[in-house]
Chain A
Amino acid sequence: MQQGVSADIREPEGFLRGSSMIAEIKASRIEFVISVPDITTSEGLLRPLSQGSTPRLIRVCKEDEGVGICAGLSYTERRSLLLIQQTGLLDSVNAVRGVAVEYALPICMMVGLLEKEPGIPPKQSKRYGVRIVEPILDAMGIAYHEIEGDADVAKIGPAIDDAYARSRPVVLLIGRRPS
């Protein structure tokens, strides 16, 4: 293993509880979750969300639709969360660029990192599709937070609050499958 990579390897922080994430999402006053199923969050997050009545789940056919829906909702003072996979985020880059960034709207995205290795920072992933996500967000000037262990769940609420307070997009990168 390369020296530089091994020096940055993180200790896996146990596990990530879907129930904690849902509690945090609800505490953040999210009323709508807009989603295309994501493998990372499918069972631990999307499945239980789909079985509850709040927040209301809106299933979309393609992720850029979700950017538009969240934008429309933002004008109505109703909070929403776009729950997708990084493949969908990459597919939606133009919508995120135009609607979220250039219009300065609080589009909050929770993005599962497909095939990310536990304990490895996304930028150091061996997976090209994982490794490029944060540099793209950096280039677009979009704030992001890594959510990989239960201790990270507390970042969710402040990140969402900040996005709405400053009317700016934010991305929450989910680095492991929630239990």
Chain B
Amino acid sequence: MKRDECLKVLARHVTDTDIVLPVYSAAFDWIDIRPHPLNYLSHGAMGLASSHALGLALGRPDRRIIVLDGDGSLLMNLGSLVTIAAAAPPNLFHFVCHNGTYEANGGHPIPGRDRVDFCGFARSAGYPTVHEFSDLKIFEQQIGALLARPGPVFADLKITSSGPQERDYSRLHGPHVRKAFRAALAAG
């Protein structure tokens, strides 16, 4: 699956009240596919998006929180799988865009790229629902039902790059992004 095609399918199932936390390359695809003030884009670096997502899920149990993690990012914060499973927020949906590379940092391979099993990690950590998708048609058929399940839900999206991106990081980390998010969340 190409990542942008996969995310376009996902976007059709995301509502106006959902909060989405996309990471790095997925973020640059996502903000063009679904520009929205409830995109939470400022989660620093070093894999912390899933932790920010847990905070949002605990603080706003009335909202679905969808994190679009990277594989390199998740490897930097594997403990968050255990923490999330233990906290068991029913409104957290954790997707990992798995292409085996640090795409935003030069395309170098992640460690163990041919062996690492993210679904195995999530299952062992205690996520009650774990899925792997590598076929866009199957993803399209099943994503709606998956997002209706009680969380925490984990899905490994086996994707390929969407191609070259123009990465203007001020679109992720600029203060205007956080201000817009805060205002949109407070309004609802």
> How far apart are the CA atoms of A73 and B56 in the complex, in Å?
5
- For the complex, give the distance between the alpha carbons of A73 and B46 in Å: 19
A75 touches B59 (CB 8 A): yes
B87 partner, pick from A58, A71, A102, beta carbons under 8 A: A58
A153 at the A/B interface (Cβ < 8 Å)?
Answer: no
CB contacts (< 8 Å) of A70 on chain B: these are 55
What is the bound-complex CA distance between A64 and B56, given in angstroms? 16
Interface residues of A (CB under 8 A from B): 32, 56, 58-62, 64-78, 80, 94-95, 98-99, 102-104
Interchain CB contact (< 8 A) of B46 among A60, A69, A94 = A94
The residues of A that contact B42 with a CB separation of less than 8 Å are: 103
What's the minimum C-beta distance from B21 to chain A, rounded to whole angstroms? 9
Q: Are A72 and B79 in contact (CB under 8 A)?
A: no
Residues of A close to B178: CB separation below 8 A: 103
Q: Which residues of A contact B185 (CB under 8 A)?
A: 75-76
In the complex the two chains form, is A76's CB within 8 Å of B60's CB? Answer: yes
Is A68 a contact partner of B52 (Cβ separation < 8 A)? yes
- The 16 sampled A-B contact pairs (Cβ below 8 Å) are A59-B83, A68-B43, A69-B54, A70-B55, A72-B52, A75-B40, A75-B59, A75-B185, A80-B55, A98-B45, A99-B44, A99-B48, A102-B173, A103-B173, A103-B178, A104-B175
CA distance A67 to B45 in the complex (A): 12
Chain B residues near A (Cβ < 8 Å): 40, 42-46, 48-60, 77, 79-80, 82-83, 86-87, 173, 175, 178, 181-182, 185-186
Q: Report B-chain residues with C-beta under 8 Å of the C-beta of A65.
A: 48, 51, 77, 79-80, 83
Contact yes or no, B58 A75, CB < 8 A = no
Nearest A-chain residue to B45, judged by Cβ: A98
Which residue of chain B is the closest to A58 with respect to CB atoms?
A: B87
CA distance A71 to B46 in the complex (A): 15
Evaluate contact between A61 and B79: CB separation under 8 angstroms: yes
Q: Which residue of B48, B79, B181 is within 8 Å of A95 (Cβ)?
A: B48
The answer to whether A60 touches B83 (Cβ under 8 A) is yes
Given contacts A59-B86, A76-B185, are A68 and B58 in contact (CB under 8 A)? no
Contact (A58, B58) CB under 8 Å given A65-B80, A75-B185, A98-B45: yes
B-chain residues with CB within 8 Å of residue A72 when the two chains form the complex? 40, 51-59
Q: Is the CB of B48 within 8 A of A73?
A: no
- Whether A75 contacts B181 in the complex (CB less than 8 A), given A59-B83, A67-B48, A99-B48, comes out as yes
Residues of B within 8 A of A73 (CB): 55-56, 58-59
Asked if B45 and A71 make an inter-chain contact with CB atoms under 8 angstroms apart, the answer reads no
